[in-house]
Amino acid sequence: MSPFDENAKVWMNGRLVPWNDARIHIASHVIHYGSSLFEGFRAYDTPKGTAVFRLDAHIKRLYNSCKMYRMEVPYSMEEFSQAVIETIKANQFKSCYVRPIIYRGYHSLGVDPFPNPVDCAILVWNWGKYLGDEALENGVDVRVSSWWRMAPNTFPALAKSGANYMNSQLIKMEAILEGYAEGIALNIRGHISEGSGENIFLVHNGTVYTPPLSSSILPGITRDSVITLLKELGIRLIEETVPREMLYISDEVFFTGSAAEITPIRSVDKITIGKGERGPVVKKLQEAFFAYINGEKVDTYGWLTYI
């Protein structure tokens, strides 16, 4: 994990403030009840300048998350998107990770969140490869977690909420303490869901499989991008319920996410996947993904917003 730059600036409720002044009160609702919705995405240093990857899609998902939790955001999506760009510019980053967050602030405490204001902030910082510098090529070792993803009609899995990531923390901590880079969670029916912070794909006999939204997954923006790239590459994709045992017999398994990008998995529960290294499908996807980001291919999908 890269350390924060304390000389940076944070956007809070319409103005840029010094990093160390970006504070909230201990009695803020979000601290006690987990009432936050957030996003995470990257800006890349391209030959044409700094470009944010799929800014519009991430802000749309953020606002959808807020809608599920009845949070009225005091800015339009266009205004919030422009605030992201202003924050990156103010910090003079060529590439960075971006974390917009919308949360219930300071007024009164109680489960009822409505009396509290809806506050907004945007942080940016340099963040390297989420699962390690060598992970994109060498892959990572993971385990199936003993912790399940939330059941339907408990928490909305389609929302990227701070509260949901308490579940993710349990998955991640268990994996780390047992010597793995990451954990894979199952849903309440015992089918594959996702990692603690990544979507998952499997390659079996030339076909790619990924769990559907009904498997308690977050609708990942990188996941959606990979689905688009698979179509471009002419590789068959099946989006359906995936049993746990498919992990062990697949030719390739990989994570996707804004932080993880496209990261191969070399073993699950100490069972080697394929040859225990990055496979041909992941390699093709990585090449296509980074070709768009690096400006080697024309951005026909409109994925890049230049700063």
Could you list the active site residues? 160
CB 244 within 8 A of CB 191: yes
Length of the chain measured in residues: 307
Helix axis angle for 221-233 and 280-293, nearest 10°, is 110
Q: Is 164 left (phi over 0), alpha (psi -120 to 50) or beta?
A: alpha
Reduced to 3 states (helix: H, G, I; strand: E, B; else coil), residue 90 is helix
Neighbours of 50 (CB within 10 A): 20
Helix axis angle for 55-68 and 77-91, nearest 10°, is 130
- Strand bridging mode 237-239 / 207-210: parallel
CB 94 within 8 A of CB 306: no
